[in-house]
Amino acid sequence: MGKSRPPIPKELQLSIFRRDRWVCRWCNRPVIFAPVMRLIERDVRLARNGAPLSYYHAHWTRAGAPLLDELGAVIDHVEAYSTGGANSEDNLATACNKCNGRKSSASLKKWGGRVMRKPIKGKYGEPQHWDGLSGVFVILAQRDPVGLTASDRTWLKVFTKGLKVHSRGHACGVQ
């Protein structure tokens, strides 16, 4: 049995997402911050009187959360933790859920030799101001904090640490 992996602090995860501009290191697709999809689903369900939606599922299933199944933002170990890779900034990368699952614990040499998902190129250039919808997360979480999970509350603190707060109580300056 492999060694248990300590959690990667949310501050470090956010640092990696921002460093990588919320784009998958392996396929160059923009990724989506998963907790925002749960809050979007919550708000849309309320507005539509509980109509069934496929925005969020706890296990990111294709049927329950097709965007997260494909583009959910995850932190990937460049060298797998299970093979000795560290939880250090230089060994962590932003990945989409699909690439993270496909890479698994493969070494970079092995991973580089596989048939890769075709990297995408933007017709009008690469995203310049993409934030993985994390700014929407902050707005929705601050607007209606009832029902936030402990993880959501921690993410909100990490995102709003050191930000100015408007008179209406909303943080500005989210990257």
Do the strands 73-77 and 92-96 form a parallel or antiparallel pair, or are they unpaired?
antiparallel
Give the pTM. 0.84
Residue in 7, 6, 14, 12 with CA at minimum distance from that of residue 156: 14
* Residue 21 falls inside a structural domain: yes
* Residue 58 falls inside a structural domain: yes
pLDDT in tens, the chain (175 residues): 455 778 999 999 999 999 999 999 988 899 999 999 999 999 999 998 888 889 999 999 999 999 999 999 999 999 888 888 889 999 999 999 999 988 877 777 776 666 666 767 778 888 889 999 999 999 999 999 998 999 999 999 999 996 654 444 545 444 4
CA dist., res. 63 & res. 39, Å (int): 18
Number of structural domains found in the chain: 1
Query: 97 and 74 in contact (C-beta within 8 Å)?
Result: yes
Residue-number span of the structural domain to which 58 is assigned: 10-112
* Residue 1 falls inside a structural domain: no
